[in-house]
Structure 1
Amino acid sequence: MKHILAVILIAFSIGLSAQDYIEHTVKPGETIESIAKSYLVTPFDIYALNPDAKRKFQPNTILIIPNSKVKNEAIVEDTRELIGYKNHKVKRKETLYGLSQQYGVSEEEIKKANRFLYSENLKKGDKIRIPRYKTVVSKQTLNNTVKKYIVQPQEGKWRIAYKFGISVADLEALNPFMNETIQPGDELNVPNIDDKEEKEVESAYGYYEVLPKEGFFRLKIKLNLTKEELEALNPELKETGLKAGMVLKVPADVDTSRSLEDVETTDLKGTLNNFKTKKIALMLPYRLDRIDIDAVDETKEKIKEDRRLSVVLDFHVGVMMALDSAKQLGISTDLKVFDTRYHMSKTAEILAENNFSDYDAVIGPMEENSFNRVARTLSADHIPVIAALNKPDQVYSNVFQTLPESELLSKTMIDFVKADSLKTKVVVISDHAHRASSEALQKQFPNSQLILTEKDKKNKTKDAYYIYHANLQNVFSAGRTFVFLETDNSSLASSVVSMLNALAVDDTEIILATLNKGKAFESKDIDNNNLSNLQFHFPSVHKDYDESKVNGFVEAYRKNYGVTPSKYVARGFDITLDLLMRLASAENLYDASINSIATEYIENKFRYNKSPSGGYVNEAVYIVKYDNLRVVKAE
């Protein structure tokens, strides 16, 4: 055996000698990330050549560093030089964040000058040192350097990565402070290659980033392009082959959206191996400052009246039940709960007064600006932030968005109908507010019919939100017809549902569907019996739990509270249990969230895909239907 290992080691060494590489001896205080940044490569590149570094990384370890494409030319760089300290006595309500803003230094720089702040919170009366710096402009020559590039109109990360022959991850490593969404005029670091080596980015083409473990066979299925076609568009593939992260040029009409092929549900119980206590923060707007816990009746009324508080409390119960279930699997949790009070200022105070650098994940907050602040602040330490009850406007690299995008919901519904081999006809009924999307929907189904609502007789610019019964005459025949109803108007939905129900007789099967089930279908004027008769189908983030099967979670909740759990209790349970099991099955949440891992719990399922902005978005969607007054998964 040892001879085989020796041969492998020699072969590996010979392979390396044929390439350009650098040997680096690890110094105290260095990390893989800091070393990668100094050589302008990515941590992934270092781990690829030094797999042992993941489990054994210490001073004096010798690492093999790949040579990046960046040339060794001097660049002008601003550096900060420590010139002394200013003494400061902490006043009431002062925070690290506030002091960092006041003196123009970072919180980390203050902590380094006052080591006790790593283990203790800042408090009134503390005497601390504030570091003072001066800026020095100098010419720096590194082992590898970069040049500056100004982002042009219509350029995104993928196009710039393609232009300079690097991956999106490489571009992000070169620009650690780059905005999640880059804008024309932004200045970026790029490889200092010769102008003639830059690839031309053509607006007539699209661009696709290769995912980990993707080969030509999978790309043929996803992009409908053969190996030969991809090589013709990207000649370098003949030399390098496919590599994760590389950006490929593809025809403009190719759908490069990251649609997920079906995979079997992953049972994470069999993969649990990391039983270190998980440190989790839960940030929700409990608004405890408004509640008098001694006034029981008054508190009950507030909970009934405040819909948001009811949701938060239900979610919290689900979280606690998940912690108990995880404990039974050997996963222990250190949970710290923070009341954000639904205020940005309170969230900022929580961030300033607490060190989250050693947390495994943060769930919340709900409020959009507060969530963005938490995600942006904790991105420096790569702490995952879970968007559990909201859809953030910006998916930072450390964000896990649990709610799928609405575009994916629509696409999943369309694909479901297309896959139905028994369908004979598709009809689209739409109000004018949804006309554009309904016309696009009509194009998905050749020979389908679009019926638009009538305009107001007095004001032709206004929608009257109704259709005549005559519009539906002779539309339906024997066999199956899918009817998409696209509206947010409850009166239109109610009248159309009634008319369709009356027409669905004998051999005429009408299946009602919609791309986005909004409040229009939850009106008290719509009879759920009619929705059941029409087998109403729609895409959904969650499904109702199966009452025909024994469910320990549901039984435990009923035993404690005397009622069935709401969807928010189930969501709190599902998200938290999934988070803990993923953390217990890998080194961190990022490693446990590759798109081949699909999980499903009580009412929710999760399959994360890395978004173009670098974060992770759940792309697991249910198609559900009304069946005997219950909402069940459609097969």
Structure 2
Amino acid sequence: MKKFLLFFILLVIGNSAMAQQYKSHTVVKGENVYRIAKRYNTTPEAIYKINPTAKDGIQEGQILAIPVVNDEEYKTHVVEKGDTVFSLSQKYNTTQEAIFILNPEAVNGINLGQILRVGKIEKKEQTALDLGSEEGKDAVLDSLKIIPEEQKIIRFITHKVKRKETLYGIAKKYNITVEDIKKQNKRLYSEQIKKKDKIRIPVFAQETTAVAKPTEIDSISPNSRLTTTTRYIVKPKDTRYGIARRHGITITQLEQLNPTMDPDFPIGMEITVPTTIFVSLKDSIQPGFELYEVKPKETIFGILKRTGISSDSLFNMNPYLREGLKAGMVITIPKDTMAATIPQIGKYLDLGSKLYNFKPKKVAVMLPFSLDTLNFEVIQETEEHLKKKQSLRIALDLYSGILIAVDSAKTKGITTELNVFDTKKNNNTQHIRKILKDHDFEGTDAVIGPLYQNNLETVAAELRKYETPIFSPASRKESNLYDNFFQTRPTNEMLQERIISYVEKDSTDKNIIIIVQQGKKYEEIKEKLKAKFPEAKVAKIEEGNYLYEVHLGKVLVENKPNWVFLESNDVAMLSNVIPLLNAKAESHKITLFTSDKNSAFDDDSVKNEHLSKLHLHYPSFYKEFDEEDEEGNKHVTPFTKKYKAIYGSDPNNWAVRGFDIAYDILMRLGSADDMYHAVSFEGTTQYVENKFNYTKKMLGGYCNDATYIIKFDNDLKLTLID
């Protein structure tokens, strides 16, 4: 009875959708739907659509109805340990080029468990129809297809291949298709033609046509706009995928429109495409939808999970996705579905409440511990070395914070395989390359470090092939070379832009004053301030970076607030200018700003009482102060408690930074498919003292542009104001 129902369902399907072809397939041991889809050049979703019960799993001997785009089947192979494209070409008596054509993704390498097409299955003619046998069932089901009428071959021509000739050119010469030639020369399915080859050319009783009719185009198109065709000339850098995407069809559909298309896709070749040529993606977006650019390593599963839509809906909106998802693709999705998945705590993202990726995380730490220079047998010598070696102290502090981050993430269900490497010193390229060569970094989710920029660039360059994210924990220098470079510390320019933007928002009716140290180094910030505030007054600075009181008096006014930018790293200049401003604050409303609160501001000759009275505002990439509760008591974070319990002292800024960077990485990896997916979330994360908002740069990788604005308040208190 069940067999009869299957036959009846397929018969109904065959009669109601004459444009679609179907085959039956008997499941064999070890097969899954994905592998079957590979064999018949279709998709798992298409199989599930007409075999809904297959979603619950398939069993050996089960019969499935398979929709086929063309009447072709492929041999498949599950990649095993030791397999290479070359070894598979030998095993299946084909060529590496043929495997690459059938599996374009294999050009980037093959992976264990990957399913590859390794050649076409030649059709066998049915000689008998036995409804009681499996072959009989297949024959009945195959009979539901619409079989095109075969053209009659009246004779053959022998063609001797000349230098630089292609199958496409030969087919065009004889007004037939490439497939017509391959059918009569079976070896060409797996081999390339060579000079002096002799191939059989069929001569048909009547001329073949290669251009699809408008109705055929409608049947393969994703929407009703594709009703006619036009010709398109292939240009430099054009690809089959690019042209298909821009016309809203799949590569398979493009090939159906162009059966004689040269597989080499040469520049200047003419092909048939739908008339919706070069339609602007933005112009074609319907209300309620938006464009989304696919990030590196992003998966269809991840997009479906985040958007909450079905795979059928995603493929209907983006038919070219059936050819595979690639970084840089621009796809259509329902509006506001990608950014709305992560809840916020106040202004910040709460990644901890949206964890779903609990696969163990593989994280490497690369820092200059310089263990080869330490003499652990002499304690006093080791302590002296630690005091003198600043990079070693920073490395140890960062590492101590990272260890607590790993332990804290574990309480959230995120386990971490932490691998630690000693980079020893700066400009240590040879040693670092040896580390990367001697250890397996493929599959590493993130690398924290190295500390120095040169070493960072080396690691980023070497691990770019794996798209491994490299996090710079300390350097402010940008990298414009590597897309896998993540700068965790905002640049000086970002800090400048932050404070300038803050002042600009409220600069109406303010007397802006610019006091900038002399010298080439400070000329850039001076010109930037003058450009942003053209009405600003510039105080005259004397030789030796000295400001006379009379010159300060000329730029101050009494009838409106005076907002003063002070840019200097000269202790002598600060100890001259700040007291003058403090004295003038008795008769004038003065607020002090700087884009760079450097160590000169912390010198003993610069009094904090003056900075407090002038309400100094400055940008910072970390909070720089301890928060207090409503009763004025110091707020102790769980991290600080844990750190003190383990190490016996309060954490310094580097230890806090190590914790914040590592914990943010682990939370992002736990709430996304990978780091590139995680940094696509809109919004900022914040932890103990640092916050993170990674943005993709035009050239290079990602930069954290999240900063604070801090103000010296009354009674020497620091207040976070923005």
Aligned to 2:448: 363
Aligned to 1:346: 431
Q: Say whether 1:414 aligns with 2:509.
A: no
Query: Within 2, Cα distance between the matches of 1:424 and 1:450?
Result: 14
Q: 2:361 aligns with which of 256, 278, 294?
A: 278
Aligned to 1:373: 458
How far residue 468 of structure 1 moved from its aligned partner, in angstroms, is 0.8
How far residue 550 of structure 1 moved from its aligned partner, in angstroms, is 3.8
Query: Within 1, Cα distance between the matches of 2:400 and 2:527?
Result: 44
Query: Does the 8 Å CA contact 1:280/1:360 hold for their aligned counterparts?
Result: yes
Aligned to 2:716: 629
Aligned to 2:202: none
Aligned to 1:453: 541
Aligned to 1:291: 374
What are the equivalent positions in structure 2 for 1:163-174 lying under 5 Å apart? none
Q: Say whether 1:386 aligns with 2:471.
A: yes
Aligned to 2:488: 402
What are the equivalent positions in structure 2 for 1:438-517 lying under 5 Å apart? 438-455=526-543, 464-474=544-554, 475-505=556-586, 508-517=588-597
What are the equivalent positions in structure 2 for 1:157-306 lying under 5 Å apart? 192=267, 264-306=347-389
Q: 2:668 aligns with which of 582, 604, 609?
A: 582
Moved more, 557-566 or 525-534: 557-566
Query: Within 1, Cα distance between the matches of 2:448 and 2:383?
Result: 26
Query: Does the 8 Å CA contact 2:409/2:666 hold for their aligned counterparts?
Result: yes
Query: Within 2, Cα distance between the matches of 1:399 and 1:415?
Result: 27
Query: Within 1, Cα distance between the matches of 2:286 and 2:718?
Result: 36
Sort the Cα spacing of 1:615 and 1:337 in 2 relative to 1 into closer, same or farther, 3 A: same
Give the aligned CA root-mean-square deviation in angstroms.
Answer: 4.6
Letter in 2 for 1:295: V
Query: Within 2, Cα distance between the matches of 1:517 and 1:509?
Result: 22
Q: Tell me the SS of whatever aligns to 1:269.
A: helix
How far residue 215 of structure 1 moved from its aligned partner, in angstroms, is 11
Aligned to 1:435: 523
How far residue 263 of structure 1 moved from its aligned partner, in angstroms, is 9.7
Q: Deviations over 1:254-285 (max 9, x none)?
A: xxxxxxxx993110011101111111110000
Aligned to 1:520: 600
Give the TM-score normalised by structure 1.
Answer: 0.60
Q: Tell me the SS of whatever aligns to 1:473.
A: helix
Query: Does the 8 Å CA contact 2:479/2:701 hold for their aligned counterparts?
Result: no
Q: 1:555 aligns with which of 634, 641, 650?
A: 641
Query: Within 2, Cα distance between the matches of 1:321 and 1:295?
Result: 29
Query: Does the 8 Å CA contact 1:423/1:482 hold for their aligned counterparts?
Result: no
Query: Within 1, Cα distance between the matches of 2:244 and 2:483?
Result: 18
Query: Within 2, Cα distance between the matches of 1:622 and 1:367?
Result: 25
Query: Within 2, Cα distance between the matches of 1:265 and 1:445?
Result: 31
Letter in 2 for 1:296: I
Give the TM-score normalised by structure 2.
Answer: 0.53
Aligned to 2:109: none
Query: Within 1, Cα distance between the matches of 2:290 and 2:567?
Result: 34
Aligned to 1:600: 686
Aligned to 1:426: 512
Q: Say whether 1:542 aligns with 2:622.
A: yes
Q: Tell me the SS of whatever aligns to 1:532.
A: helix
Q: Tell me the SS of whatever aligns to 2:561.
A: strand
Q: 1:307 aligns with which of 383, 390, 411?
A: 390
Letter in 1 for 2:619: P
How far residue 373 of structure 1 moved from its aligned partner, in angstroms, is 1.3
Sort the Cα spacing of 1:148 and 1:479 in 2 relative to 1 into closer, same or farther, 3 A: same
How far residue 41 of structure 1 moved from its aligned partner, in angstroms, is 13
Moved more, 416-425 or 337-346: 416-425
Q: Greater relative contact order (Cα 8 A, min sep 6): structure 1 or 2?
A: 1
Query: Within 2, Cα distance between the matches of 1:353 and 1:38?
Result: 30
Sort the Cα spacing of 1:568 and 1:148 in 2 relative to 1 into closer, same or farther, 3 A: same
How far residue 396 of structure 1 moved from its aligned partner, in angstroms, is 0.8
Q: Tell me the SS of whatever aligns to 2:498.
A: helix
Letter in 2 for 1:440: K
Query: Does the 8 Å CA contact 1:40/1:145 hold for their aligned counterparts?
Result: no
Q: Deviations over 1:362-409 (max 9, x none)?
A: 111112222111111111011111111123544511111112232222
Sort the Cα spacing of 1:581 and 1:473 in 2 relative to 1 into closer, same or farther, 3 A: same
Query: Within 2, Cα distance between the matches of 1:334 and 1:306?
Result: 29
Query: Within 1, Cα distance between the matches of 2:712 and 2:75?
Result: 64
Bigger-Rg structure (1/2): 2
How far residue 214 of structure 1 moved from its aligned partner, in angstroms, is 14
Query: Within 1, Cα distance between the matches of 2:577 and 2:478?
Result: 34
Q: Deviations over 1:506-532 (max 9, x none)?
A: 5x3312111233333233321122112
Query: Within 1, Cα distance between the matches of 2:346 and 2:101?
Result: 38
Query: Does the 8 Å CA contact 1:364/1:387 hold for their aligned counterparts?
Result: yes
Query: Within 1, Cα distance between the matches of 2:244 and 2:651?
Result: 49
Q: Tell me the SS of whatever aligns to 2:365.
A: strand
Query: Within 2, Cα distance between the matches of 1:530 and 1:385?
Result: 42
Query: Does the 8 Å CA contact 1:431/1:465 hold for their aligned counterparts?
Result: yes
Query: Within 1, Cα distance between the matches of 2:483 and 2:559?
Result: 52
Query: Does the 8 Å CA contact 2:361/2:417 hold for their aligned counterparts?
Result: yes
Query: Does the 8 Å CA contact 1:409/1:515 hold for their aligned counterparts?
Result: yes
Aligned to 2:122: none
Query: Within 2, Cα distance between the matches of 1:539 and 1:191?
Result: 55
Aligned to 2:155: none
Sort the Cα spacing of 1:27 and 1:57 in 2 relative to 1 into closer, same or farther, 3 A: same
Aligned to 1:225: none
Query: Within 1, Cα distance between the matches of 2:658 and 2:529?
Result: 34
Query: Within 2, Cα distance between the matches of 1:329 and 1:520?
Result: 42
Aligned residue pairs total 439
Q: 1:529 aligns with which of 609, 627, 642?
A: 609
Query: Does the 8 Å CA contact 2:79/2:114 hold for their aligned counterparts?
Result: no
Q: Tell me the SS of whatever aligns to 1:432.
A: coil
Q: Deviations over 1:75-133 (max 9, x none)?
A: 99xxxxxxxxxxxxxxxxxxxxxxxxxxxxxxxxxxxxxxxxxxxxxxxxxxxxxxxxx
Aligned to 1:564: 650
Query: Within 1, Cα distance between the matches of 2:640 and 2:404?
Result: 11
Letter in 2 for 1:268: L
Sort the Cα spacing of 1:630 and 1:322 in 2 relative to 1 into closer, same or farther, 3 A: farther
Aligned to 1:135: none
Query: Within 2, Cα distance between the matches of 1:483 and 1:377?
Result: 47
Query: Does the 8 Å CA contact 2:471/2:488 hold for their aligned counterparts?
Result: yes
How far residue 543 of structure 1 moved from its aligned partner, in angstroms, is 1.1
Aligned to 2:419: 336
What are the equivalent positions in structure 2 for 1:93-104 lying under 5 Å apart? none
Aligned to 1:116: none
Query: Does the 8 Å CA contact 1:395/1:616 hold for their aligned counterparts?
Result: no
Give identity over the alignment, percent: 34
Query: Does the 8 Å CA contact 2:540/2:551 hold for their aligned counterparts?
Result: no
Sort the Cα spacing of 1:389 and 1:38 in 2 relative to 1 into closer, same or farther, 3 A: farther
Query: Within 1, Cα distance between the matches of 2:712 and 2:601?
Result: 12
Query: Does the 8 Å CA contact 1:371/1:392 hold for their aligned counterparts?
Result: no
Query: Within 1, Cα distance between the matches of 2:590 and 2:510?
Result: 11
Q: Tell me the SS of whatever aligns to 1:542.
A: coil
Query: Within 1, Cα distance between the matches of 2:490 and 2:101?
Result: 37
Query: Within 2, Cα distance between the matches of 1:145 and 1:525?
Result: 73
Query: Does the 8 Å CA contact 1:263/1:596 hold for their aligned counterparts?
Result: no
How far residue 634 of structure 1 moved from its aligned partner, in angstroms, is 2.2
